[in-house]
């Protein structure tokens, strides 16, 4: 997990040798972000910041007991805003280097040079916090049980961490594509937990909620499936530039967070059956009224 830069010093008096076919060693190549990528990061930071403010203000007139979706959705965009600020300001990034062979033709020995690609690890910190919150939004909407929600979130965190380890994995070892495979299996668990349990649970909530959950879950499924494909092309196989990678993730992040959140909160307002009313500690704090606390009783009685 550490970046190790070994800048070797060169000096001394090499002994004279007979002329050999001159091979200029290829210097280390750096694949970094350029102007487009940099501007994209700042733009997405602004979008996330504005979304957070809008979501927070929308919750203003809603009683605390009904703000659960608003709180979760606002936390998602705030986390993304901070992550994008970190990336845009040049933090939270390091290089993952691979050795590449250079062929110079017959009779001439091959040489090696390093290709180092900039990996923004802030993304993975972001995702390991925001994707559980997105799953929580969907689970609450469908009425999925706590046990299944916890398992889906654990699988989801494993998926994100596997992606992080794969991004820094050494080429030609189990590290890179082994972690990628673990991430994909974990993703199947997430789909299974949300898809199978979600459809069963949401059926009890009426047609409107079922339809909303179906649309949002499908939207999320499509987006989340594009992420690992981009990862495979960009971080994995390194076929596209860092700027293209930033741009692709930026579009996905905007769709998966502010657009998803807006859709959820507007639909939620229009479908009363999606209302989750939380009493107890969430809405009223620990009441010490008679020197005795009742958690989870009907919030009128508390």
Identify any residues that bridge with 31 across adjacent strands, giving them in sequence order.
117
Position among 29, 149, 237, 258 found at the interface with its own copies (CB under 8 A): 149
Among residues 68 and 223, whose Cβ is nearest to its own copies?
68
* 116 lies in the binding site for its own copies (CB under 8 A): no
Q: Are 109 and 100 in contact (CB under 8 A)?
A: no
Our CB check for its own copies shows the closer of 140 and 255 to be: 140
Closest-CA residue to 35 (of 241, 223, 225): 241
**11-30 residues near its own copies, rule: CB under 8 A:** 11-13
Interaction between residue 53 and its own copies (CB under 8 A): no
Question: Among residue numbers 155 through 214, which ones bind its own copies (CB under 8 A)?
Answer: 158, 161, 165, 168-170, 173-175, 178-179, 182, 201, 205
- What letter does residue 258 receive in the DSSP assignment? I
Cβ neighbours of 277 (radius 10 Å): 11
Q: Closer to its own copies by CB, 36 or 175: give it.
A: 175
CB 252 within 8 A of CB 244: no
Least distance from C-beta 151 to its own copies, angstroms? 7
Q: How far is the CB of 102 from its own copies (least distance, A)?
A: 22
Binding-site member from 76, 80, 138, 144 for its own copies (CB under 8 A): 144
Question: Applying CB under 8 A, which part among 31-39, 88-96, 242-250, 258-266 lies near its own copies?
Answer: 88-96
Question: Contact between 275 and its own copies (CB under 8 A)?
Answer: yes
- In the structure encoding, which two tokens stand for residue 44, read together? 């997405």
Taking the CA of residue 149 as centre, how many other CA atoms within 13 Å lie in the half-sphere pointing to its CB? 16
For residues 1 and 184, give the distance between their C-alpha atoms in angstroms, rounded to a whole number.
22
d(CA 298, CA 302): 6
The answer to whether 246 and 252 are in contact (CB under 8 A) is no
The only residue of 28, 46, 102, 273 in contact with its own copies, by rule CB under 8 A? 273
Structure-block tokens of residue 170: 């050494």
Q: Is 5 in the site for its own copies (CB under 8 A)?
A: yes
86 binds its own copies (CB under 8 A): yes
Residue with smaller CB distance to its own copies, 223 or 257: 257
Distance (Å, rounded) from C-alpha 71 to C-alpha 54?
A: 12
Q: Does 82 bind its own copies (CB under 8 A)?
A: yes
CB 210 within 8 A of CB 203: yes
Q: Which is nearer to its own copies, 141 or 223 (CB)?
A: 141
Least distance in Å: CB of 105 to its own copies? 30
């Amino acid at each position: 997990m550490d970046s190790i830069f070994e800048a070797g010093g060169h000096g001394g008096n090499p002994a004279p040798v007979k002329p050999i076919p001159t091979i200029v060693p290829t210097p280390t190549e750096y694949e970094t972000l350029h102007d487009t990528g940099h501007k994209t990061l700042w733009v997405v930071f602004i979008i996330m910041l504005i979304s957070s403010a809008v979501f927070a203000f929308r919750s203003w007139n809603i009683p605390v007991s009904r703000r659960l979706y608003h709180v979760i959705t606002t936390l998602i965009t705030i986390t993304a805003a901070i992550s994008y600020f970190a990336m845009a300001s040049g933090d939270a990034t390091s290089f993952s280097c691979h050795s590449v062979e250079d062929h110079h033709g017959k009779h001439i020995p091959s040489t090696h040079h390093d290709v180092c690609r900039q990996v923004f690890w802030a993304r993975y910190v972001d995702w390991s916090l925001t994707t559980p919150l997105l799953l929580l939004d969907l689970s609450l909407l469908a009425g999925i049980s706590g046990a299944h929600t916890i398992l889906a979130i654990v699988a989801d965190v494993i998926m994100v961490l596997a992606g992080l380890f794969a991004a820094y994995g050494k080429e030609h070892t189990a590290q890179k594509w082994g972690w990628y495979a673990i991430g994909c299996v974990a993703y199947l668990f997430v789909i299974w937990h949300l898809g199978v349990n979600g459809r069963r649970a949401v059926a009890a909530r009426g047609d409107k909620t079922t339809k909303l959950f179906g649309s949002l879950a499908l939207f999320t499924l499509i987006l989340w499936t594009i992420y690992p494909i981009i990862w495979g092309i960009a971080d994995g196989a390194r076929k596209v530039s860092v700027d293209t990678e930033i741009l692709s993730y930026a579009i996905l992040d905007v769709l998966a967070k502010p657009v998803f959140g807006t859709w959820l909160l507007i639909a939620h307002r229009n479908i009363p059956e999606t209302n989750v009313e939380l009493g107890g500690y969430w809405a009223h704090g620990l009441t010490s009224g008679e020197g005795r606390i009742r958690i989870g009783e009907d919030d009128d009685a508390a």
